């Protein structure tokens, strides 16, 4: 196990997830439900599955697309989502 990579990924993802829509959605479900453990299991499984998909795609996609272009695409996507959120009126 590469512990440096582990802790870098853990710290980055942990900080990125604090206060994001996933955490706020989970908080809302937990607050409106008496089944807190079920909310935890559902949210945890969803995060594990999306992380698994990310790792699998992260291992396959760079075989066909250079990492540089993947970073540009990901950055552009984040900018697009940010602008969309700023301009949405809901």
Per-residue pLDDT tens over the stretch 1-37: 999 999 999 999 998 888 888 888 899 999 999 999 9
Q: Dihedral of CA 69/48/33/11: which sign?
A: negative
Residue range 46-69, pLDDT digits in tens:
999 999 999 999 999 999 999 999
Beta carbons of 26 and 43 less than 8 angstroms apart: yes
Over 80: is that where the pLDDT of 89 sits? no
Beta carbons of 39 and 33 less than 8 angstroms apart: yes
Residue range 63-86, pLDDT digits in tens:
999 999 999 999 999 899 889 888
User: What's residue 72's pLDDT?
Assistant: 96
Q: Number of folded domains in the chain? A: 1
Beta carbons of 70 and 62 less than 8 angstroms apart: yes
**Helix locations, 32-66, DSSP H:** 36-60
Please give the residue range of the domain that contains residue 23.
3-87
């Amino acid at each position: 196990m590469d512990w440096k990579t582990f802790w870098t990924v853990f710290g980055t993802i942990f900080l990125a997830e604090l206060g994001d829509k996933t955490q706020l959605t989970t908080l809302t479900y937990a607050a409106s439900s008496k089944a807190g453990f079920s909310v935890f299991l559902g949210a945890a499984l969803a995060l594990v599955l999306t992380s698994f998909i990310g790792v699998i795609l992260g291992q396959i996609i760079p075989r066909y697309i250079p990492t540089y272009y993947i970073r540009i695409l990901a950055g552009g996507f984040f900018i697009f989502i940010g602008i969309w959120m700023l301009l949405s009126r809901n």
